């Protein structure tokens, strides 16, 4: 049995750092273990232009602890008025690594997102031309579609038609939660390597029973919502397969406890603090510790055409369970750290 593991420093290819007091509290949590992260642009107002991304990046850098080795990889929030020339300039400058598509109304701060795809075709065509990836929040928002079916319906009615219309567009299916998502990503990746999918830590651990049985668990509520067990198992097989189509995007999404434990609670699990030990546990359970590095440190970098990180982190396993902080404190209130509901014996060596 392996009791220690050294990996290239991981990248988190889907992260919410927020702004202001929350940014100050959570940025050090990601910088501790991760080398780089794709930073989500769903602030209020959204990070929609190159100038906004530049300013947000500066605020992130200022929030990092002294000496932190952490590079935020910026994204732009796609709106129906996004200017293709601004996107191209942001890409050419090296600042922006992706554009994020939120179907309007799909999740936290997505009301400025896309309703009519015809309006964003000029931007998407430019992105296809320059090789800039589109990160998709892959859920339809049509009220008639059941929330548990929204990902599969998005693939059939939005993503697949879009990829047929623009086969050169590079797409990341963010935080997939279904066996349909797993299968579509593999099929597309095998055909031309212009499709990939991120998988979160929490979706490898939770099914919808964890969320709903024995009382509603607001800290397990996220979007896309956790699905039934067969889907979680499909995600586990995908993540632990080592296949280049799948890589880590934690979707670590802090909200204060007051907003989570609420009559209309916010979506998001905060996993930045303990993701790497949790993933070591999951991969060990599935006999795939030797493929953890592909998932956290190689596949994502390769898709984003970045060199893998040279620095390393080490994880160690002890007989005693690791104690993670139950909450981190921020001036915006306490934030609950994701509790997997089982003992974890791995920890990152400081
Ligand atoms: O659970 C989620 N939280 N899913 C998202 O898509 C957005 C995120 C957030 O920003 O809170
Ligand atoms: Zn997200």
Query: What mean pLDDT is predicted for residues 163-190?
Result: 95
Residue 159 has pLDDT above 80, yes or no: yes
146 noted as active-site residue: no
CA 330, distance to chain mean position in Å, is: 22
Query: What mean pLDDT is predicted for residues 93-110?
Result: 90
Residue 192, pLDDT score:
74
Share of the chain above pLDDT 90, in %: 93
Residue 188, pLDDT score:
86
State which ligand 1 atom lies nearest to the alpha carbon of 269: 1
Q: Which two tokens stand for residue 200?
A: 């979160």
Residue 111 has pLDDT above 90, yes or no: no
Ligand 1 centroid–CA 28 distance in Å is: 20
Preceding peptide of 224 cis, ω within 30°: yes
- Give yes or no for a contact between 7 and 168, defined as CB atoms under 8 angstroms apart: no
Residue 176, CB-side half-sphere exposure with 13 Å CA sphere? 34
Pocket perturbation via mutation, ligand 1, pick of 37, 267, 271 by most ligand atoms within 8 A of CB: 267
For residue 155, list its beta bridge partners: none
The active-site residue, picked from 12, 251, 257, 290, is: 251
Bridge pairing between strands 195-199 and 327-328: unpaired
Residue 332, pLDDT score:
96
State which ligand 1 atom lies nearest to the alpha carbon of 224: 4
**Ligand in closest contact with the CA of 249:** 2
Closest CA to 201 of 28, 329, 15: 15
Q: Domain count for the chain, please give it.
A: 1
- Give yes or no for a contact between 114 and 48, defined as CB atoms under 8 angstroms apart: no
Report pTM: 0.98
Closest CA to 152 of 183, 114, 178, 174: 178
Cα distance between the two ends of the chain: 22
Structural domain of residue 85, as residue ranges?
A: 4-348
Query: What mean pLDDT is predicted for residues 277-289?
Result: 98
Ligand 2 centroid–CA 253 distance in Å is: 7
Ligand 2 centroid–CA 77 distance in Å is: 12
Instruction: Give the residues surrounding ligand 1 with Cβ less than 6 Å away.
Output: 16, 42, 107-108, 137, 222-223, 251, 253, 266-268
Q: Which two tokens stand for residue 335?
A: 């934030």
Residue 129, pLDDT score:
98
Residue 108 has pLDDT above 90, yes or no: no
Alpha-carbon distance of 70 to 67, in angstroms, equals 9
State which ligand 1 atom lies nearest to the alpha carbon of 255: 11
**Ligand in closest contact with the CA of 18:** 1
Residue 105, pLDDT score:
80
Which CATH number is 317's domain given? 3.20.20.140
Residues with CB under 5 A from ligand 2 (ion): 251
292-303 residue pLDDT tens:
999 999 999 999
Instruction: Count other C-beta atoms under 10 Å from residue 214's C-beta.
Output: 7
212-269 residue pLDDT tens:
999 999 999 999 999 999 999 999 999 999 999 999 999 999 999 999 999 999 999 9
- Give yes or no for a contact between 147 and 110, defined as CB atoms under 8 angstroms apart: no
Residue 193 has pLDDT above 80, yes or no: no
Q: Which residue has the higher pLDDT, 109 or 71?
A: 71
- Give yes or no for a contact between 292 and 279, defined as CB atoms under 8 angstroms apart: yes
For residue 348, list its beta bridge partners: 315
Query: What mean pLDDT is predicted for residues 305-317?
Result: 98
The mean predicted confidence, pLDDT, of the chain is 96
Residue 106, pLDDT score:
75
3-state secondary structure of 86: helix
Nearest CA to ligand 1 atom 4: 223
Alpha-carbon distance of 155 to 185, in angstroms, equals 10
């Amino acid at each position: 049995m392996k009791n220690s593991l050294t990996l290239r420093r991981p990248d988190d290819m889907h992260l919410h750092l927020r702004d202001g007091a929350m940014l100050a509290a959570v940025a050090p949590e990601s910088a501790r273990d991760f080398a780089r992260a794709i930073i989500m642009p769903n602030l209020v107002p959204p990070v929609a232009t190159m100038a906004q991304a530049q300013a947000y990046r500066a605020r992130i850098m200022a929030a990092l602890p002294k000496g932190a080795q952490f590079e935020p990889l910026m994204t732009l929030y796609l709106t129906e008025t996004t200017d293709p020339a601004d996107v191209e300039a942001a890409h050419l400058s090296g600042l922006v690594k992706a554009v994020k598509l939120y179907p309007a109304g799909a999740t936290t701060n997505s009301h400025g997102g896309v309703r009519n795809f015809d309006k964003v075709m000029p931007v998407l065509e430019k992105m296809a031309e320059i090789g800039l990836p589109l990160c998709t929040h892959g859920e339809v928002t049509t009220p008639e579609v059941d929330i548990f079916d929204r990902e599969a319906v998005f693939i059939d009615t939005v993503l697949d038609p879009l990829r047929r219309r623009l086969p050169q567009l590079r797409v990341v299916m963010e935080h997939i939660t279904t066996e349909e998502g797993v299968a579509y990503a593999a099929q597309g990746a095998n055909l031309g390597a212009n499709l990939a999918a991120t998988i979160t830590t929490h979706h490898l651990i939770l099914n919808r029973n964890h969320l709903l049985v024995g009382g509603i668990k607001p800290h397990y509520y996220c979007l896309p919502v956790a699905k039934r067990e067969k889907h979680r198992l499909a995600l586990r097989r995908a993540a632990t397969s080592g296949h280049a189509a799948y890589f880590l995007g934690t979707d670590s999404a802090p909200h204060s406890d007051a907003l989570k434990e609420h009559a209309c609670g916010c979506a998001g699990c905060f996993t930045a603090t303990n993701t790497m030990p949790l993933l070591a546990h999951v991969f060990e359970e599935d006999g795939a510790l030797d493929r953890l590095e592909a998932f956290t440190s190689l596949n994502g970098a390769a898709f984003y055409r970045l060199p893998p990180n040279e620095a390393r982190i080490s994880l160690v396993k002890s007989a005693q369970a690791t104690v993670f902080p139950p909450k981190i404190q921020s001036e915006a209130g306490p934030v609950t750290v994701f509790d997997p509901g089982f003992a974890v014996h791995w920890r990152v060596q400081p």
